[in-house]
Chains A and B, each alone.
Chain A
Amino acid sequence: MDKIIRVNMADLSTRIEAVPAEWAGLGGRGLTSTIVAAEVPPTCHPLGPSNKLVFAPGLLTGTPAANSGRLSAGAKSPLTGTIKESNAGGTAAQMLARLGIKALIIEGIPKADTWYSLHVSMDGVAVQEETELVGKGNFAVIEALEARLGKKTGILTIGPAGELKMTAANISVKDPDSKIRSHGRGGLGAVMGSKKIKFISINDEGAPKVPIADPEKFRTASRAFAKALLDHPVSGEGLPTYGTNVLVNILHEAGGLPTRNFTAGQFDSHDKISGETLHETIAARGGKTKHGCHAGCIIQCSQVYHDKEGKYVTSGFEYETIWGLGADCCVDNLDDIARADNLMDDIGIDSIETAVMFGVAMEAGILPFGDGKGIIRLLEEEIAKGTALGRILGGGAGSVGKAYGVTRVPVVKNQGIPAYDPRSVKGIGITYATSTMGADHTAGYTIATNILNVGGFVDPLKKDGQVELSRNLQIATAAVDSTGMCIFVAFPALDIPECLPALIDMINARFGISLTGDDVTNLGKYILKTERQFNIAAGFTSEHDRLPEFFKSEPVAPHNAVWDFSDAEIDEFWNF
C-alpha cells in the first residue's frame, strides 16, 4: 500500500500515514508542489523551522517504463524564495517507489546542534545521530555508507555546501555506479542542511514489485513508448552519442551561446569544449560515451569522463556545466571543466548556479576570464572550506553580484540563467521570466522548437508565438515532471504521435484509471497555478516575471539582438 512518511526533526518523531484521497493521483512535482503549497507558510524563512523538504518519486517510477526513474525534491527555495521542485536520476527514486513511499516529508529543525541521518526501509524510517560523516564530501559519504550498509544502499546526501547552508547547495543522489546525480537547482541542499540531516540511506530489501493494475495494457503501452524513444533521432541517436553537450556547437552557430558573462552569443573556442570533442576525448581515453543515470534509461545521455591517464574524473557531465565554465567563463580546457564538475559534485553545489556565478565573479575581478585553474582553486580552497569569500560564492550569481556591485547579473528571481541567451533565443526568455522556479530552462524547453526543429519551428529571433510556445511547454513539462519521466522523453513526445498516448496509457494501466490527454494538460495547469499561488502569497508579483535590465539595453552579437518583450506581453503567459 502506498504511504506518506513524515519525519519531524524538532522532536525526532516519525509517522506513517495513509495517502489522502486528493493526493492519490499525484506524483513527482505535482505531489511535492501540492504538499509544499498546502503545508509550508509561503512567507516562512526557507531555512527556518516552518519549511518542509519533500521527496516524491513519479507516478510511473519503479515500474518497467523506460526512463521513469526520476525523483522530485520540493521545498521553499532559499535561493529564489519561491516554491521549488528539482528532479534527479539516480537509484533512490525507484527504491522509494518499491517501498510504497509516495512522499517523504521532512519537517522541523532539531533543537540541539546535532547532526542526524535517516534510514528508510520496509520497517519505516529511523532517525539516527551522525558524527562520522559530518564535514565530509559526497564521494566520501557514499564510499563510507556502502562500507557501513552495503553496496546496494540508496543514498541522498549533502556535502559541505549543504551543511553550511549555502543557497546554491544541492542534494546528491547515488547513481548506479556509486557516483552522483543531483537535485541541482534552488538550494535544496541548504534546506536539508538546515534540518541537520547529513544523508538519507535507503534499503529496499523485501519490498514487493510496484503493483500494476492492468499488466497486459501496461506491457503494450510501454513497448510503444520505448519504440518512440529509440526511433526519434534526438533520443535514439544524438543524445546517446554526444550527450547534452552536442548543444555547444549548435548554440554557437545560432548565436545563442552566452559567452563572457552574457556579453556575446558566440565563443571562439567552442569546438574545444563541444560535444563532438567530448565524445572523441572520452572514446580515446577509454571512458564511457553513453551511460544511464538510472536503471531503465534507454536514452543514456550521460557518460563517464576520464583524464589523460585513463582515470575517472566525472560523469553526468552536462551541457550546462560545460557551457557555463566553458563559454561563459571563457575556459577552453575540458579537463579543467571536468575537474571542476567533480569538485562541485563532491562539495554538493549546483553546477549551473555555480558556473553562472563564476562568470559574474570574473566580471567582478575575483579572477580573470579563462582561468580554469582559478575556478578549481576557489572551489577547493574557498567554497569547500566555507571561508567568507566561499560563502559569498556559494550563494550563487546574485550573491556575488550584490557583494561586488556588478550590474550584469544574469538571474531571474535570483536564480542563474542557464545556457541559452534570451535575447537571441526569445522563447526561452519567456520561460526564464515566468517560470515559478526562477530562471530554469527545463521548465519549458523552447530550445526544442526555437533551435532544434523539434515540435515544429518558431523563429528564435522573433517575438511571434514565443509566449504560447513557452506556455504549452511549461504546462506539458509540469505534467511530465509528475510522471517520474526524464524530460528528454519530450523530444519524441513532440514529434511522434504514438508517444504521448502510450505514456498516458502506462499511467492508466498502472493505476487502473482512464486519464485522457486533456486530463494531463489540466494536471499541468493545476501544478503551475498551485505553484504560482504559493509564490504570490510569498510576495511575488508579475513584476518579478522579468529579465534583468541589461538584456534590454545591451545588444548581443552576432545578431545584435535585445530583449524586447513588453511587460504586458510577458504577462500574457498566465492567461490560461
Chain B
Amino acid sequence: MEITVKLFAMFRVGRFAAGTYKYRDGITPADIAGELKIPEKDVGIVLVNSRHAKLDHRLFEGDTLSLFPLVGGG
C-alpha cells in the first residue's frame, strides 16, 4: 500500500521533506520511523491525516503520516 510520509525540522536533515512510498499492510508510524533510523524517543508529534496519533497506530492505504521531533514556539 502507498503512504505519504512527511518529515519536519531536524528529521529532514539527511533524509527528505515528503514522499509517497510503498509499505506492507499493517505498518505503523513506529515501523516507518525505525526504517528511517529515527529513534522512537526523538519522535515528538505523530499526525496521521492531520490528526494526532500514537506510534503504534495502524496505517492504511492512502494515509498521510507526518513526523515531528518535540518542538515548539509561541
Q: In the complex, what residues of B have CB within 8 A of residue A249's CB?
A: 8-9, 68
Closest CB-CB distance, B58 to chain A, in whole Å?
19
Q: 0/1 per residue, B12-38, Cβ < 8 Å to A? A: 100001000000000000000000000
Q: Are A275 and B9 interface neighbours, CB within 8 A?
A: yes
CA A442 to CA B44, docked complex, whole Å: 22
Main secondary structure of the interface of B (DSSP, over half): mixed
CA A301 to CA B73, docked complex, whole Å: 8
Closest CB-CB distance, B5 to chain A, in whole Å?
12
CA A520 to CA B36, docked complex, whole Å: 44
Do A559 and B50 contact each other (CB < 8 Å), given the known contacts A237-B10, A241-B10, A451-B45? Answer: yes
Which residue of the partner chain, among A237, A242, A254, A266, contacts B47 with CB atoms under 8 Å?
A: A254
Q: Are A245 and B73 interface neighbours, CB within 8 A?
A: yes
Q: Are A491 and B72 interface neighbours, CB within 8 A?
A: yes
Closest CB-CB distance, B38 to chain A, in whole Å?
13
Q: Are B70 and A453 interface neighbours, CB within 8 A?
A: yes
A126 close to B (CB within 8 Å)? no
Do A276 and B8 contact each other (CB < 8 Å), given the known contacts A254-B47, A452-B45? Answer: yes
Q: Are A447 and B69 interface neighbours, CB within 8 A?
A: no
Which residue of the partner chain, among B50, B70, B71, contacts A255 with CB atoms under 8 Å?
A: B50
Q: Which of B56-74 contact A (CB under 8 A)?
A: 66, 68-74
Closest CB-CB distance, A96 to chain B, in whole Å?
25
Q: Are B9 and A242 interface neighbours, CB within 8 A?
A: yes
Q: In the complex, what residues of A have CB within 8 A of residue B45's CB?
A: 250, 451-453
Q: In the complex, what residues of A have CB within 8 A of residue B17's CB?
A: 271, 276
Q: Are A445 and B74 interface neighbours, CB within 8 A?
A: yes
Do A452 and B9 contact each other (CB < 8 Å), given the known contacts A245-B73, A250-B71, A253-B50? Answer: no
Q: 0/1 per residue, A448-482, Cβ < 8 Å to B? A: 10011110010111000000000000000000000
Q: Are B51 and A461 interface neighbours, CB within 8 A?
A: yes
Q: Are B69 and A238 interface neighbours, CB within 8 A?
A: yes
Q: Are A253 and B71 interface neighbours, CB within 8 A?
A: no
A384 close to B (CB within 8 Å)? no
B11's closest neighbor in chain A, by CB?
A276
Q: 0/1 per residue, A236-253, Cβ < 8 Å to B? A: 011101111111011001
Q: Are A254 and B9 interface neighbours, CB within 8 A?
A: no
B46's closest neighbor in chain A, by CB?
A453
Q: In the complex, what residues of B have CB within 8 A of residue A448's CB?
A: 72
Closest CB-CB distance, B39 to chain A, in whole Å?
12
Q: Are B6 and A253 interface neighbours, CB within 8 A?
A: yes
Which residue of the partner chain, among A255, A276, A460, A461, contacts B12 with CB atoms under 8 Å?
A: A276
Q: Are A254 and B50 interface neighbours, CB within 8 A?
A: yes
Q: In the complex, what residues of B have CB within 8 A of residue A238's CB?
A: 9, 69-73
Closest CB-CB distance, A410 to chain B, in whole Å?
18
A558 close to B (CB within 8 Å)? yes
15 contacts between A and B (CB under 8 A): A233-B70, A234-B70, A237-B71, A239-B72, A241-B9, A245-B73, A246-B73, A253-B8, A253-B68, A254-B50, A301-B73, A447-B72, A447-B74, A452-B45, A453-B45
The 9 closest A-B pairs by CB, nearest first: A244-B73, A238-B71, A234-B72, A233-B70, A255-B50, A253-B66, A247-B73, A452-B72, A246-B71
A interface residues, Cβ below 8 angstroms from B: 233-234, 237-239, 241-247, 249-250, 253-255, 266, 271, 275-276, 301, 319, 441-442, 445, 447-448, 451-454, 457, 459-461, 487-488, 491, 558-559
